[in-house]
Amino acid sequence: MTAVAVKYNELQDADAEVLAISTDSHFVHKVWQEEELSKMIEGGLPFPMLADPGGDIGKMYNVYDAENGINIRGKFVIDPDGVLQAMEILNEPTGRNVEELVRQVRALQHTSNTCEATPAGWQPGKKTLTPGEDLVGKVHEEWDPEEELE
């Protein structure tokens, strides 16, 4: 979450909002902010931490671990219409890539605004694809996957 906090301004610039949700109470969140997070990020997390004590939200996103009473860590990108556009759930010790979160938000917004497809690794200003019958069987002529690795 602190890595997301570091990139929070970029996410806000992309008109995205961030919420952190856990089964911990708001009291635990307050202590965690004051005793740990504020030492890593000046002022603590700049976005809300929401309490999901019964795991109801976690159940909706299929990340609630009933045996341990916790929500497994996940990332969910939900569009303004409330539609889930992207999600990622990783094993507990595996770190997430916040740069990829920012990239995905920007790619999803670009796709929504233009109806163009954004190839793997797409960044703003890079080549996109226009879906349609003219592209069928010709993607190899329009897109080189190695260019995205540069």
| Domain range summary for the chain, segments of one domain joined by + | 2-94, 115-149
The string of DSSP letters for 8-29 reads HHHHHHTT----EEESS-HHHH
- Domain 2-94 class, CATH top level: alpha beta
Q: Is 6 within 8 Å of 41 (Cβ atoms)?
A: yes
| pLDDT tens, position by position, 56-101 | 999 999 999 999 999 999 999 999 999 999 999 988 788 889 999 9
First-to-last alpha carbon distance for the chain, in angstroms, is: 28
Residue 145: pLDDT band with limits 50, 70, 90: confident
Q: Is 47 within 8 Å of 1 (Cβ atoms)?
A: no
What does pLDDT average to over the chain?
A: 91
Nearest to 124 by CA among 97, 102, 94: 102
Measured from the Cβ of residue 60, the count of other Cβ atoms closer than 10 Å reads 11
149 pLDDT exceeds 70? no
User: Coil, helix or strand for 88?
Assistant: strand
Which pLDDT does position 138 carry in this prediction?
80
- Judged by average pLDDT, the poorest of 7-11, 48-52, 85-89, 116-120 is 116-120
* pTM given for the model: 0.85
